[in-house]
Amino acid sequence: MRKIIVLAFVGLLAQLVDGSLGMAYGVTSSTLLLATGISPAAASAAVHFSEIGTSLVSGFSHHKLGNVDWRTVSILALPGFVGAFAGATFLVSLPGDDAKPWVAGILFMLGAYVIWRFLVLGGRRPSFTGHPSAYFLAPMGLFGGALDAIGGGGWGPVGTTSLLSSGRLEPRKVVGSIDTSEFVVAVGGSLGFILALGSSGIDWAIAGALLAGGVVAAPIAAYLVKILPARVLGVAAGGLIVLTNSKTILESLGATGLTVAVVAGLFFVLWVSAISWAVSQERRARAQERLDEGLVRA
């Protein structure tokens, strides 16, 4: 019972971050499930089944708040579905012990990319105009869906960061559109897992616990996307992903307990430093905005 409550709390926290940033539900949940010894395929399957519910509630909440660009969602959905189905089938074909360090490596790189994406902004706040083209969205959806199924997360890190960097869609609609289209990606991945693993290979208790926590958090996160600093949350989530997966990678390479502890301590210090830097940059950006507003009024 205690494990179910903890997993529900994990789902709640992961969805709070995901609904605010447009990323990190799958990556965060899968990382913590892998750390408890669950196989990559079982972890990703449980996450994808829980995401069917959480993304549905999240998408509806974002729609009600005007955070969704439906043109973007309609173009992303089918490639994302195909990519997730193919990725799930591929992951199940890999031996669990062999897949675990590779999946941890993918999650580690995604976590590092999330940190880089939010730190590289510095004191700037980008502007966004127009709409991304179908030639840009379709390949991104296919790749993001495949990576999402293989790594247990990846739709958000790929989709949100790509759309933000394209400069074609305002941030709140990037987050809302990615979260909404994730419903179709979750369905594609889930179908792939259930066809390859069978229903007996999926831990429904884990999926249900993550779902319960995520559904509670989804409408709250859709509102928080308008008021919380995405920069700080992004760095915090990315750091947690990097820290946890570094342990899995080192242990799979045969590192001693002391080595794992030293490396984890180093990453922890870097993580705290990165969060502090993100906070300072956020304050600088807000101060500059207030200064610019004052000059305009003057």
Domain ranges for the chain? 2-297
Q: What average pLDDT score do residues 26-39 get?
A: 72
| Banded pLDDT at 164 (limits 50, 70, 90) | low
Nearest by Cα to 109 from 153, 167, 50, 175: 153
Express as a percent the part of the chain with pLDDT over 90.
1
Beta-carbon contacts of 23 under 8 Å, excluding residues fewer than 6 positions away, are: 17, 114, 153, 155, 156, 157, 159, 160, 161, 178, 234, 237
189: which DSSP letter? H
Residue 126 clears pLDDT 70, i.e. is over it:
no
Most confident of 25-34, 189-198, 241-250, 274-283: 274-283
- 47-61, 193-207, 276-290: least confidently modelled range: 193-207
* 223-259 pLDDT, tens digit each: 766 666 767 766 776 777 787 778 778 877 777 878 8
What token pair was written down for 23?
A: 């990323």
| Banded pLDDT at 276 (limits 50, 70, 90) | confident
Beta-carbon contacts of 246 under 8 Å, excluding residues fewer than 6 positions away, are: 108, 263, 264, 267
Q: What average pLDDT score do residues 139-158 get?
A: 78
pLDDT value of residue 100: 65
* 187-230 pLDDT, tens digit each: 888 888 778 766 666 677 777 777 777 777 777 776 766 666 76
Task: Report DSSP letters for 39-54, one per residue.
Answer: -HHHHHHHHHHHHHHH
| Mean pLDDT value across the chain | 75
| Banded pLDDT at 178 (limits 50, 70, 90) | confident
pLDDT value of residue 123: 46
3-state secondary structure 80-121: HHHHHHHHHHHHHCCCHHHHHHHHHHHHHHHHHHHHHHHHCC
Beta-carbon contacts of 113 under 8 Å, excluding residues fewer than 6 positions away, are: 157, 161, 238
More confident position, 7 or 264: 264
| Banded pLDDT at 95 (limits 50, 70, 90) | low
